[in-house]
Amino acid sequence: MGNDASTIALVQVDQSTFDKAGKVLAVHLSYSSRAAQRGRTPAFPSYFMKASSSLAVSGSPVERPAGTELLAFEGEIALVIGADARRVSVEDAWAYVGSVTASNDLGVYDMKYADKGSNIRSKSGDGYTPMGPALLPAASVDPAALRIRTWVNGELAQDASTAELIFSFAQIVADLSQQMTLKAGDVILTGTPAGSSVIVPGDLVEVQVDDEAAGLSTGRLGTTVVEGTESFAAFGNQPKIADADRIDAFGTAAKAGVETAITGKEALTDDVKAKLMSVATATISGALRKRGLNNVSVDGLQATKGMTKVIGTARTLRYVPNREDLFKSHGGGYNAQKRVMDSIVPGEILVMEARGEKGSGTLGDILAMRTQVRGAAAIITDGGVRDLDAVAALDIPTFHNGAHPAVLGRKHVPWDYDVAVGCGGTTVVPGDIVIADADGILVIPPHLAAEIADEVVESERQDTFVFCNIKNGNKIEGLFPMNADWKAKYNQWVADGEPEI
């Protein structure tokens, strides 16, 4: 890096570039904005392959096959391997990259179902991997400060920096080289940021990669969509679309025109959150009970922060009973427990299923601190906690089933996360809204949150009115519950701005 851009003669992508590409490898998810859009953040990169025959130069058209609807673009940065790499370290991996350029990881989602996860048919059509126009020398750019932009018909659709990568380019190269030799000329597509969507015949998609500090640019990679004339033959799979494919292709359910169940994060708006936090958990419990939801409390736990109230959306972790062979395969290293704590985000509450087993800790002060640093609102476990004094001294509220000095493996195997769990006698589904204080822990289905929030504010207001009047010596009869006369007095009190009673 640090070369004068004016002295660098950029090589243009042409057929000779493709002749050297023995394989084209692609990363599923690597940008945090895309991961947020998909609702999952992977712990490690995962990959698929595209046919080298899908490579095309800038200006080449791409065909949307006849009978299909969901051809989608994905602006990406392509790495071209410069020297054979096998079992290279992350520290050394960038030296094996020869150049970077712009690419477009095109795919037709109508055929995704037929691939069984391989992406062969959906992603390997002729022209589905355009690259160029220019190759930027890898040694002259900063891989952590590249800018990628995509335009559709001249309108900016994607604009991101590699600063938001979940996995560095070096990690991706090193990881792939563990099991295969990356040959000089091979291409790695490094994932796309949020903003990719469906394109139609007549659309022009342009992708550009820049190192603005170095003054280097690939120029715009242009691809025009044309309508195919040949339908898929009857002897093979036919195009088919499910709602999930439509959402993936368009990027969001709203853009795809697909109605989906409201998520906890969508339901827990600032207004809803403020209303729920303003009332007692007992009031919320009553509103849930009116809707037939009686088994929505997490019972029997202690709180490290007394009456501190917390609210958030659930992330879940499930432990299964310890079995020595399973702990050996699932308990050590970067297990499910550590992965979920590393991926939790602000506003989430970690809920752990430990079957009510008190004979072992489900976390200690180090992992509790990691969860706090990640911004979690609280930790809830129906198992034990190690280092309880240290955990209680942290800022993050922890709800637990008692202290125990034993390590995890005495009773538990960390099995999986982001699944439905049973905690304290109720079921918690990822994304449920959880509200907790020392008086109780409640689980609120997201689709009910807004109406319950409105109802409990009114219920709490009525309770305040009744309480104050009883405090002032009024009889319970007719006031609790309110008869018509007291209801009229209550309505007038509200209209007057709720003056002190």
pLDDT in tens, 370-418: 999 999 999 999 999 999 999 999 999 999 999 999 988 899 999 999 9
Q: Does residue 4 lie in a domain region?
A: no
71 shares a domain with 174: yes
34 shares a domain with 179: yes
Domain extent, residue 421, equals 303-444
Instruction: Please count the residues of the chain.
Output: 501
Q: Does residue 220 lie in a domain region?
A: yes
Helix (H) or strand (E) holding 486, with range, is helix 484-495
Beta-bridge partner residues of 479: 482
pLDDT tens, position by position, 246-282: 999 999 888 988 877 788 888 999 999 999 999 989 8
Q: What is the pLDDT of residue 6?
A: 63
136 shares a domain with 147: yes
Last residue of a domain, one of 428, 444, 460: 444
pLDDT band at 459 (very low <50, low <70, confident <90, very high): confident
Residue 2 has pLDDT above 80, yes or no: no
97 shares a domain with 210: yes
83 shares a domain with 192: yes
- Percent with pLDDT over 70 in the chain: 99
pLDDT band at 494 (very low <50, low <70, confident <90, very high): confident
Q: Does residue 45 lie in a domain region?
A: yes
The domain that contains 168 carries what CATH number?
3.90.850.10
What's the whole-number average pLDDT of the chain?
Answer: 93
Q: Does residue 369 lie in a domain region?
A: yes
Q: Does residue 438 lie in a domain region?
A: yes
Q: What is the pLDDT of residue 4?
A: 65
The domain that contains 374 carries what CATH number?
3.50.30.40
Cβ neighbours for 497, distance < 8 A, ≥ 6 positions apart: none
174 shares a domain with 82: yes
Q: How many domains does the chain have?
A: 3
373 shares a domain with 355: yes
Last residue of a domain, one of 425, 444, 463: 444
Q: What is the pLDDT of residue 117?
A: 84
Q: Does residue 7 lie in a domain region?
A: no
- Reference 74, options 196, 199, 256; nearest CA is 196
Q: Could you please report the per-residue DSSP string of 75-122?
A: EEEEEEE-S-BSS--HHHHGGGEEEEEEEE--EEGGGGGGGTT--HHH
Q: Does residue 393 lie in a domain region?
A: yes
350 shares a domain with 231: no
A 10 A CB-CB count for 256 gives 20
47 shares a domain with 196: yes
Last residue of a domain, one of 193, 227, 255: 255
pTM (predicted TM-score):
0.62
198 shares a domain with 158: yes
Please state, in angstroms and rounded to a whole number, the distance separating the CA atoms of residues 56 and 374. 42
Please state, in angstroms and rounded to a whole number, the distance separating the CA atoms of residues 159 and 256. 21
Q: What is the pLDDT of residue 254?
A: 83
Q: Does residue 10 lie in a domain region?
A: no
Please state, in angstroms and rounded to a whole number, the distance separating the CA atoms of residues 61 and 51. 17
338 shares a domain with 196: no
A 10 A CB-CB count for 312 gives 25
> β-pairing, 204-211 with 221-227?
antiparallel
pLDDT band at 366 (very low <50, low <70, confident <90, very high): very high
282 shares a domain with 139: no
